[in-house]
């Protein structure tokens, strides 16, 4: 077992925020100004833990009577003390302590970039404005393509305003959750993720419909659309979880996929229960696609009328039911 010479401090996102040499022990860790290592973490006590040597001279991490304790990340259990070794990780509040040995490779020095940072970060109001503008454009194009009559200004401008308000509300809800869990808001980031999710619906809808028409595979592309929307939902949840939880990327991904699968199962049950109800809607898109877009022969007229006969029989059965 190698010796421990360095304490590496990471925030809840896994970003290294400080390193300290373990030359002189004991060493106190906490939020108080009198500690040797001061952590800016609301879930860390004033005097949270100590690094000291045991009777044999081996370094130990010891809980100093903190409120939230010391969590050994390998076992996931709260402990009173830990024998230190290179690679050991422990969590104090939202802060992760990583202990390093003298022979571990340090990351190479990065070149300084003179470009301004954060100009187009996801968690910024500029990103939300760009995403919202893209939503406006996508919905306007969708209305123009799918409408059989010239759309009014209200129909073009109304839905985007409503969806922008919905994205802001979505961001507000996630920000409050993040504030309760990790004392952080990330409002513009959550709102931008919501706007991008709204943007994906018309873009994917129009894209899969056009490809389905071109390849004469509408049913297959309907299934593809459902899978793509599920993937977008999982990606949105993964990003939200990144801002409100200290979870690893793998855990965020598994949780997001599990939530989407559960919601998909509930939606499937609702659709199945509603499947037998008679609908006056046409089983095909009202969009008049240009025949030149066809890259593969679709249904022949005979096949079309065969399908129409099935709809006619369903209508006759519905009309024959006693009122």
| Section 30-38 average pLDDT | 93
CA-CA distance, 173 to 162, in Å (whole number)?
A: 17
Q: Are strands 49-53 and 27-30 parallel, antiparallel or unpaired?
A: antiparallel
Phi, psi of 267 (to 5 degrees): -60, -40
Q: What is the pLDDT of residues 219-228, one digit of tens each?
A: 788 888 889 9
Higher pLDDT, 40 or 297: 40
Number of Cβ within a 10 Å radius of residue 17? 13
Tens digit of pLDDT for each residue in 112-154?
Answer: 544 444 444 777 888 888 888 888 787 777 777 666 677 677 7
Is 295 a residue whose pLDDT tops 60? no
Tens-digit pLDDT profile for residues 308-319 = 677 777 777 877
pTM of the prediction?
0.58
What's the full length of the chain, in residues?
Answer: 323
Question: What integer is the mean pLDDT of 30-55?
Answer: 92
Say what percent of the chain tops pLDDT 70: 80
Q: How confident is the model at residue 79 (pLDDT cuts 50, 70, 90)?
A: very high
């Amino acid at each position: 077992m190698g010796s421990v010479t360095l304490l590496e401090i990471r925030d809840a996102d896994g970003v290294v925020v400080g390193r300290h040499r373990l030359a002189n022990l004991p060493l106190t860790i906490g939020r108080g100004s009198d500690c040797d290592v001061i952590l800016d973490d609301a879930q860390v006590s004033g005097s949270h833990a100590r690094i000291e040597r045991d009777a044999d001279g081996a370094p130990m991490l010891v809980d100093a009577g903190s409120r939230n304790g010391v969590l050994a990340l390998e076992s996931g259990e709260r402990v009173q003390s830990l024998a230190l070794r290179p690679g050991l990780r422990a969590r104090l509040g939202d802060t992760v302590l990583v202990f390093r040995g003298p022979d571990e490779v340090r990351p190479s020095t990065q070149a300084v970039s003179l470009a301004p940072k954060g100009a187009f970060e996801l968690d910024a109001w500029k990103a939300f404005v760009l995403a919202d503008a893209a939503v406006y454009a996508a919905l306007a194009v969708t209305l123009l393509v799918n409408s059989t009559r010239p759309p009014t200004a209200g129909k073009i401008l109304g839905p985007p305003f409503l969806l922008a308000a919905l994205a802001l509300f979505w961001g507000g809800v996630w920000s409050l959750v993040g504030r309760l869990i990790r004392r952080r808001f990330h409002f513009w980031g959550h709102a931008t993720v919501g706007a991008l999710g709204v943007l994906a619906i018309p873009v994917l809808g129009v894209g899969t419909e056009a490809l389905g028409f071109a390849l004469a595979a509408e049913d297959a592309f309907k299934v593809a659309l459902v899978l793509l929307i599920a993937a977008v939902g999982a990606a949105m949840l993964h990003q939200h979880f990144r801002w409100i939880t200290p979870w690893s990327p793998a855990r965020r991904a598994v949780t997001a996929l599990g939530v989407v699968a559960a919601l998909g199962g509930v939606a499937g049950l609702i659709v199945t229960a509603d499947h037998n109800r008679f609908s006056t809607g046409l089983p095909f898109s009202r969009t008049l696609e240009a025949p030149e877009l066809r890259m593969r022969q679709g249904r022949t007229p005979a096949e079309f009328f065969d399908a129409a006969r099935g709809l006619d029989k369903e209508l006759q059965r519905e009309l024959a039911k006693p009122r």
